[in-house]
């Protein structure tokens, strides 16, 4: 049976398991605890702590999420002792000589992982739970002392829970962690003035996310939603291939339900319409009781796993760590069996009311009663106005409290006291990102503002919010008229083509040689007298010289 | 341009053809929900409900009255359906009858605002009752006005057709969407009209969709092609078959919508110069004039009168 004990001050859950042992050490820290300029610090710590775990026979891994960081493995008891010991040793003394290499590995990992969803940033902004939408920009500025401070704050024995599936706590297991305090899950921020809200994504899929109170009924709602989406969009409509829904507790008494459906490009309108109708059906209580029963049965069947306590250890450990109520298997079974259509209906109404819908690109959901998620700001900065060099209708306003880019009918404003980060490039470009996710990208060459006026930003945005970016390819830096110049260059077939220059020189040399040869022949004939002029030779030289000179003239003319 | 696909024919024509139209108007004016809802309860088909909903949708008298009924009966579908039909009437009034390029931004915004209001009511109605044919048919019109695209309009029709496979009023709405003017194609428009005609029971109005499709196509032609179109033997033959299958079939009964169906056949045969065939339709219509499709030919009243006279001469 399940046992709660302690290893070196770390609360430890143990459940019996046959076969190989498994264990996991979970810390209550994740991306949601970071700030944008530090984004990536938890992941970097996880990688550095694992670095010394080496290549071994047992299966181990680390995982960084929004609210927790998990080091886990499957192996023998001595593997558990060895692995967790090395993780703790790694945390106590991060291998800083690996810092740059691990940063590079993380950058590669993010590239191979591909695009991140923008739903978190749309809901939460550029803070807390919104950060998983952003690149790990903190990697550029994280120093060893930042990492050590992060470890001391979060990777402590008072902010961790250990779980072990096996015959008990392995002999010799030590968790040498520093003391600290338990860190509650961060409070959520919001970038949505009204819900349900929508925004257009950049592909053909439809994604819906909702934050609801954590409950067994909510997890059943997620299952029912998936069934209905799959039936309407895939089986009956044929608009989508994939239609899924997930339920994930957030660690603060709430859970996120996320539903997704892809679509063929020509069917995206129908996928969106069908999706909206499924949400509406559940929200208005048109819920098929047999669907609820099927989801309930499927969930109950999962609980029949012979080692269910062991299988639920990670989730149980997380509940313990975040101070959330954890249901025993029997309690969960009882709750699942008792979930009614009415309860699912209530969750559906809660979900839509708090919903955020990502529609396929170039579509909207205002027609379905969703409010547009903000893409502009309500207020304009007060300050000096600088017109854009290519578009007189666009102005940059740099004020003492905020900066705006103002277009006819809309503006984007970032207040310096609500600036999540400012990306800085060596060539002078700046990108301000507001706490609400609003972005101002400033290319110095494109504005009539002087460099001095732009430099004000470096002084007014707190230095801890600056994010240095690597130098850019000079050709990629926008400048006025660059579009026209590039077109002209393409038309000229490459002004700086070295092959062309070599060809011109060679052709010119041959032409000159032939010309000189012809002239010499004539001069010799004239000075020696008597001897008849070899006309054919002279003519050949002249024609040859002309032949080789012509392309030179053409090439040179084209290059002007 | 046909504004709402097949628009509700002019109220005058309906008042003559169907006396209950005048009753509905009076009940709306008097705010007599009991009488109005009792009339709807007596209607036998979804096409009938849809037809009467569109009639109410053109009545300004309905505005205040319907909102009050809807708030008093939050779970009743009919007040929502009628409010949504009224929203469509207001939307196209805001848009005016102009072709797309002459509609101003603010007219379009107003139109969309009306349609969104109605659409949200209908989302709820169809969520609670996926078999509400009138609500789905109105949503097909909404999909067009809100520019939700071909796939979504088709999905709405497919949801409806699951329960009502031969709902003529809804088919006429989708046919509009399938035409190139609403980013469809002639192939899909004709294929849909022919499939609806072939699948429907004989004597129904469905085959009139074929006349409607040909008139829409003819309207986009120019010059000699246009004047020759209805004289093509294949076109004439298809129209004659369609008429025989629908409004000229022995099992045909003059259900709501028959006026529009006869007008389309009358116009198509008139354009073909087949005044003998046109006559049967003019005779059925008597003095029931209609704006469409005659407005496509010129002044609707004059065109109707002129072609009816020609047909009478050939009797």
| ipTM, 2 dp | 0.92
From the list A269, A270, A277, the residue facing B123 with the nearest CB is A277
Q: Where are the alpha helices (DSSP H) in A54-143?
A: 77-92, 99-113, 119-124
The pLDDT assigned to B7 comes to 44
Interface of B with A in 76-135 (CB under 8 A): 112, 115-116, 119-120, 123-124, 126-130
Q: Could you read off the pLDDT tens digit of each residue along chain B, which spans 315 residues?
A: 333 334 444 555 666 678 888 898 899 989 999 999 999 999 999 999 999 999 999 998 888 889 999 999 999 999 999 999 999 999 988 887 556 667 788 888 999 999 999 999 999 999 999 999 999 999 999 999 999 999 999 999 999 999 999 999 999 999 999 999 999 999 999 999 999 999 999 999 999 999 999 999 999 999 899 999 999 999 999 999 999 999 999 999 989 889 999 999 999 999 999 999 999 999 999 988 888 899 999 999 999 999 999 999 865
Which residues on B lie below 8 Å from A277 (Cβ)?
123, 126-127, 159
For A126-166, give the DSSP string. Answer: SSGGGGGGS--GGGGT--HHHHHHHHHHHSSGGGEEEEEEE
Which residues on B lie below 8 Å from A232 (Cβ)?
none
Q: Considering the domain A384-490, what is its CATH architecture?
A: Roll (2.30)
The pLDDT assigned to A491 comes to 43
Burial of A18: CB neighbours in 10 Å, binned 0-12, 13-18, 19+ = exposed
Any idea which fold A3-166 has?
Answer: Cytochrome Bc1 Complex; Chain A, domain 1 (3.30.830)
List beta partners, residue A10: A7
The pLDDT assigned to B274 comes to 94
Which residues on A lie below 8 Å from B87 (Cβ)?
none
Closest A-chain CA to B136: A277
From the list B123, B151, B154, the residue facing A276 with the nearest CB is B123
Closest B-chain CA to A232: B159
**Residue A404 φ/ψ region, left for φ over 0, alpha for ψ in the -120 to 50 degree band, beta for the rest:** beta
Q: How far apart are CA B228 and CA B224, in angstroms?
A: 6
Instruction: Indicate the length of chain B as a whole number.
Output: 315
Tens digit of each residue's pLDDT (9 = 90 or more) over B186-209: 999 999 999 999 999 999 999 999
The alpha-carbon gap from B16 to the nearest alpha carbon of chain A, in Å, equals 37
Interface test with B, best of A261, A269, A352, A366 (most B CBs within 10 A): A269
Say whether A267 and B120 touch across the interface (CB within 8 A): no
Q: How far apart are CA A484 and CA A209, in angstroms?
A: 44
Interface test with A, best of B87, B152, B158 (most A CBs within 10 A): B152
Determine contact, residues B13/B223, Cβ cutoff 8 Å. no
> What SS3 state is found at A11?
strand
> Which residues contact residue A294 at a Cβ distance below 8 angstroms, ignoring those fewer than 6 apart?
A227
pLDDT along chain A (560 residues), means of 10: 94 94 97 97 96 70 95 94 95 95 90 75 97 94 96 98 96 96 96 97 95 97 98 96 95 95 96 98 97 97 92 95 92 96 98 97 97 94 94 94 95 97 95 97 92 90 94 91 54 46 56 57 52 54 58 50
Q: Is B263 on the interface with A (CB under 8 A)?
A: no
Interface of B with A in 19-48 (CB under 8 A): none
The alpha-carbon gap from A280 to the nearest alpha carbon of chain B, in Å, equals 6
Say whether A269 and B151 touch across the interface (CB within 8 A): yes
Burial of A306: CB neighbours in 10 Å, binned 0-12, 13-18, 19+ = exposed
Which residues on A lie below 8 Å from B145 (Cβ)?
none
Which residues on B lie below 8 Å from A239 (Cβ)?
151, 155
Q: Is B150 on the interface with A (CB under 8 A)?
A: yes
The pLDDT assigned to B64 comes to 82
Determine contact, residues A84/A71, Cβ cutoff 8 Å. yes
Which residues on A lie below 8 Å from B149 (Cβ)?
268-270, 363
The pLDDT assigned to A547 comes to 58
The pLDDT assigned to A232 comes to 97
What is the maximum alpha-carbon separation in chain A? Answer: 126
Identify the CA nearest to A221 among candidates A327, A331, A351: A351
The pLDDT assigned to A56 comes to 60
Please tell us whether the domain made up of A197-372 is placed in CATH 3.40.50.360: no
Q: Is B212 on the interface with A (CB under 8 A)?
A: no
> What SS3 state is found at A340?
coil
The pLDDT assigned to A109 comes to 85
Interface test with A, best of B151, B158, B162, B188 (most A CBs within 10 A): B151
Say whether B126 and A277 touch across the interface (CB within 8 A): yes
From the list A267, A271, A286, the residue facing B127 with the nearest CB is A286
Q: Which structure tokens are listed for A414?
A: 């970032």
Which residues on A lie below 8 Å from B155 (Cβ)?
237, 239, 269-270, 273-274
Which residues on A lie below 8 Å from B159 (Cβ)?
277
Q: How far apart are CA A534 and CA A525, in angstroms?
A: 8
The pLDDT assigned to B102 comes to 73
Q: How far is CA B290 from CA A1, A491, B216, in A?
A: 82, 61, 17
The alpha-carbon gap from B157 to the nearest alpha carbon of chain A, in Å, equals 11
Q: How far apart are CA A351 and CA A279, in angstroms?
A: 9
């Amino acid at each position: 049976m399940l046992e709660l004990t302690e290893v070196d001050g770390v609360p430890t859950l143990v459940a019996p398991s046959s076969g190989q042992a498994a264990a996991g050490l979970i810390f209550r820290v994740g991306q949601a605890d970071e700030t944008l300029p530090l984004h990536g610090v938890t992941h970097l710590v996880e990688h550095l702590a694992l670095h010394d775990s080496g290549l071994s026979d047992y299966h181990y891994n680390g995982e960084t999420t929004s609210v927790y960081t998990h080091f886990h493995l499957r192996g023998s008891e001595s593997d558990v002792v060895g692995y967790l010991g090395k993780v703790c040793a790694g945390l106590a003394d991060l291998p800083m000589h690996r810092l740059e290499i691990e940063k590079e590995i993380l950058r590669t990992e993010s590239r191979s992982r591909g695009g991140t969803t923008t739903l978190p940033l749309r809901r939460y902004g550029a803070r807390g739970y919104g950060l998983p939408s952003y690149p790990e920009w903190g990697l550029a500025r994280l120093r060893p002392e930042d990492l050590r401070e992060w470890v001391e704050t979060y990777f402590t024995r008072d902010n961790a829970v250990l779980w072990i599936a096996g015959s008990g706590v392995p002999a010799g297991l030590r968790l040498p962690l520093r003391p600290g305090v338990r860190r509650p899950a961060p409070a959520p921020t919001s970038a949505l003035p009204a819900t349900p809200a929508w925004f257009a994504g950049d592909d053909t899929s439809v994604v819906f996310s909702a934050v609801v109170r954590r409950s067994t009924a909510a997890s059943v709602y997620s299952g029912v939603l998936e069934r209905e989406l799959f039936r309407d969009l895939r089986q009956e409509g044929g608009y989508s291939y994939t239609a899924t829904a997930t339920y994930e507790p957030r660690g603060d008494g709430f859970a996120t339900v996320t539903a997704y459906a892809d679509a063929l490009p020509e069917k995206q309108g129908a996928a969106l319409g069908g999706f909206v109708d499924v949400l509406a059906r559940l929200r208005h209580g048109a819920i098929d009781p047999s669907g609820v029963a099927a989801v309930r049965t499927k969930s109950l069947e999962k609980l029949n796993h012979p080692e269910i306590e062991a299988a639920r250890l990670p989730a149980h450990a997380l509940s313990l760590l975040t101070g959330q109520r954890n249901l025993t298997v029997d309690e969960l079974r009882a709750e699942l069996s008792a979930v009614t259509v009415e309860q699912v209906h209530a969750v559906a109404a809660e979900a839509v009311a708090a919903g955020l819908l990502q529609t396929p690109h170039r579509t909207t959901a205002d027609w379905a009663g969703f409010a547009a998620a903000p893409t502009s700001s309500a207020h304009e900065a007060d300050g000096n106005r600088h017109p854009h060099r290519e578009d007189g209708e666009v102005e940059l306003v740099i004020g003492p409290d905020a900066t705006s880019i103002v277009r006819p009918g809309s503006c984007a404003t970032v207040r310096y006291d609500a600036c999540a980060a400012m990306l800085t490039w060596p060539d002078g470009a700046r990108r301000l990102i507001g706490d609400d996710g609003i972005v101002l990208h400033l290319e110095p060459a494109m504005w009539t503002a002087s460099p001095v006026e732009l430099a004000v930003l470096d002084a007014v945005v707190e230095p801890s919010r600056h994010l240095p970016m690597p130098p850019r390819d000079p050709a990629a830096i926008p400048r006025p008229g660059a579009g026209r110049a590039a077109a002209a260059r393409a038309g000229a077939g490459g002004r700086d083509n070295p092959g062309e220059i070599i060809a011109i020189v060679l052709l010119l040399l041959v032409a000159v040689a032939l010309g000189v040869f012809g002239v010499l022949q004539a001069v010799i004939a004239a000075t020696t007298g008597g001897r008849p002029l070899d006309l054919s030779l002279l003519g050949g030289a002249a024609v040859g010289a002309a032949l080789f000179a012509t392309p030179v003239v053409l090439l040179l003319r084209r290059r002007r | 341009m046909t504004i709402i696909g097949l628009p509700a024919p002019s109220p005058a024509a309906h008042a003559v053809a169907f006396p209950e139209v005048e009753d509905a108007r009076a009940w709306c004016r008097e705010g007599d929900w009991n009488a109005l809802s009792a009339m709807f309860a007596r209607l036998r088909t979804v096409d009938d409900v849809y037809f009467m909903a569109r009639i109410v949708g053109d009545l300004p008298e309905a505005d205040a009255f319907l909102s009050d009924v809807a708030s008093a009966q939050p779970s009743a579908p009919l007040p929502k359906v009628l409010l949504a039909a009224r929203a469509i009437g207001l939307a196209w009034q805001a848009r005016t009858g102009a072709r797309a390029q002459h509609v101003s931004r603010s007219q379009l915004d107003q139109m969309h605002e009306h349609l969104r209001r109605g659409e949200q009511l209908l989302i709820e109605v169809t969520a609670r009752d996926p078999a509400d044919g009138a609500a789905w048919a109105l949503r097909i019109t909404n999909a067009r006005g809100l520019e939700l695209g071909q796939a979504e309009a088709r999905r709405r029709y497919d949801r409806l057709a699951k329960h009502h496979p031969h709902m003529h009023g809804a088919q006429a709405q989708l046919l509009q969407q399938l035409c190139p003017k609403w980013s469809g194609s002639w192939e899909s428009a004709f294929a849909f009209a022919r499939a609806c005609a072939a699948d429907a029971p004989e004597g129904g109005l469905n085959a009139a969709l074929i006349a409607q499709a040909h008139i829409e196509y003819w309207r986009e032609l120019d010059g000699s092609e246009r004047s020759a179109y209805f004289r093509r033997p294949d076109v004439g033959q298809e129209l004659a078959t369609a008429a025989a299958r629908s409004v000229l079939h022995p099992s045909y009964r003059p259900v709501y919508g028959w006026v529009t169906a006869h007008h389309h056949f009358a116009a198509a045969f008139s354009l073909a110069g087949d005044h003998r065939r046109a006559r049967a339709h003019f005779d059925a219509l008597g003095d029931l004039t209609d704006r469409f499709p005659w407005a496509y030919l010129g002044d609707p009243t004059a065109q109707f009168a002129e072609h009816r006279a020609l047909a009478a001469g050939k009797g």
